[in-house]
């Protein structure tokens, strides 16, 4: 049974290998089909498709869109989409713009108001969480500029206040809608990031499915056997497609290889056809 890999990053986002290099690595790893899923960008696809054609590897057009729900950053993978869709390209461009600039901009505004803080302090405080205004509020509290988080929002951070900057990460429903309107299938990446399991995850997946989610990334480099089983169970129960991939980034995640993840990953080519069929069905409706 052939191996595929539906989650790979290149130098077009935060990966360290070019699309052509990633496709060559996949070829060496005997991967027969792969999806390039760069963060909020599809510009790596032409090169990957060209190299794939040379080496006889099928390239599935993909993307990974960052979204936020509460204090969880959820990544929505898009597969089999029309990556040349001008609306999609435009939406991804504005998403990149706001993602890279919003929180640092808030900090800059606070600095301009005479407050002593740095974006680095905010990032450090946030740790593995997606940086958000609550972290900035906490820094302002710690430094004695405000008496509470509410005070920080009321004085500086809320809409209409002097350090407010428009736009956050989109809601997952928006990311799903963008993927679908470009003819693709939307899949929840690395579900552990939702920070919920059991009934909480069940509820989340049901809600996302109502928003148009088509699948769940069951097979993933860092999933334990128990997690894989749990996600497989949810996929069956909620009639979601099953996908899998390494989330290869190159040197920034040195323990993860194309196709095999940490060694134990094996994503079956059998998962590919249902994904393609779902995308085709979507385009005809
Ligand atoms: Zn991700
Ligand atoms: Zn990723």
Distance 190 CA to ligand 1 centre (A): 7
Overall average pLDDT of the 202-220 stretch: 98
Sign of CA dihedral 136, 137, 143, 145: positive
Q: How many residues does the chain have?
A: 285
99 C-alpha vs ligand 2 centroid, how far in Å? 16
Ligand nearest to the CA of residue 76, numbered in listed order: 1
The H-or-E segment that residue 64 falls in is: strand 58-69
What distance in angstroms lies between residue 163's CA and the mean position of ligand 2's atoms? Answer: 31
- Note the pLDDT tens digit of each residue in 229-251: 999 999 999 999 999 999 999 98
Q: What are phi and psi of 192, to 5 degrees?
A: -65, -25
For residues 68 and 74, is the Cβ–Cβ distance under 8 A?
A: yes
Ligand in nearest proximity to the CA of 245:
2
Ligand 2 centroid from CA 86, angstroms: 23
Indicate the pTM of the whole model.
0.80
Using DSSP bridges, classify how beta strands 267-268 and 3-8 pair: parallel, antiparallel or unpaired. antiparallel
pLDDT at residue 285 in the model? 45
**Choice between 48 and 15, residue whose per-residue pLDDT is larger:** 48
Any idea which residue has 């990957």 for tokens? 48
User: In Å, how far are 35, 39, 169, 229, 239 from 61, measured between CA atoms?
Assistant: 6, 13, 23, 27, 23
Phi, psi of 7 (to 5 degrees): -155, 95
- Return d(Cα 14, Cα 100) in angstroms, integer: 13
Distances (CA, A) of 24 to 32, 33, 61, 120, 242: 11, 12, 17, 37, 25
Given a cut of 80, is residue 130 above it in pLDDT?
no
57 CA to centre of ligand 2 in angstroms: 20
Ligand nearest to the CA of 246: 2
Name the residues around ion ligand 1, CB cutoff 5 A: 75, 189
Binning pLDDT at 50, 70 and 90, where does residue 267 land?
very high
150 Cα–ligand 1 center, Å: 31
- Tell me the pLDDT tens digit for each residue of 83-128: 999 999 999 998 887 766 788 999 999 999 999 999 999 989 988 6
Q: Are strands 185-188 and 215-220 parallel, antiparallel or unpaired?
A: parallel
pLDDT tops 60 at residue 283: no
pLDDT score for 99: 67
DSSP 30-51: TEEEEEE--BT--TTHHHHHHH
Ligand nearest to the CA of 252: 2
Measured in Å, residue 203 CA sits from the centre of ligand 1 at 21
């Amino acid at each position: 049974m052939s191996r595929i890999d539906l989650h790979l990053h290149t130098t077009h986002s935060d990966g360290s290998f070019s699309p052509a290099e990633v496709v060559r690595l996949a070829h060496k790893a005997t991967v027969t089909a792969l999806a390039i899923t760069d963060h909020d960008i599809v510009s790596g696809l032409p090169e990957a498709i060209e190299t794939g054609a040379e080496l006889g590897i099928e390239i599935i057009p993909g993307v990974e869109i960052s979204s936020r729900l509460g204090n969880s950053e959820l990544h929505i993978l898009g597969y089999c989409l029309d990556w040349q869709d001008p609306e999609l390209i435009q939406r991804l461009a504005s998403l990149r713009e706001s993602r890279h600039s919003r929180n640092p901009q808030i900090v800059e505004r606070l600095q301009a108001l005479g407050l002593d803080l740095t974006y680095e302090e905010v990032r450090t405080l946030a740790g593995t969480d997606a940086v958000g205004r609550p972290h900035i509020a906490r820094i302002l509290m710690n430094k004695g500029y405000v008496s509470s988080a509410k005070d920080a929002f009321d004085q500086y951070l809320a809409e209409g206040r002097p350090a407010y900057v428009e736009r956050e990460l989109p809601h997952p429903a928006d990311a799903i809608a963008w993927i679908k309107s470009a003819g693709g299938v939307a899949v929840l990446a690395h579900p552990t990031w939702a920070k919920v399991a059991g009934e909480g995850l069940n509820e989340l997946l049901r809600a996302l499915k109502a928003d148009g989610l088509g699948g769940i990334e069951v097979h993933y480099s860092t999933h334990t056997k128990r997690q894989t089983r749990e996600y497989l169970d949810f996929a069956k129960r909620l009639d979601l497609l099953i996908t899998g991939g390494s989330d290869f980034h190159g040197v920034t995640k040195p323990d993860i290889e194309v196709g095999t993840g940490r060694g134990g990953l094996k994503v079956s080519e059998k998962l590919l056809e249902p994904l393609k069929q779902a995308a085709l069905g979507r385009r005809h409706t």
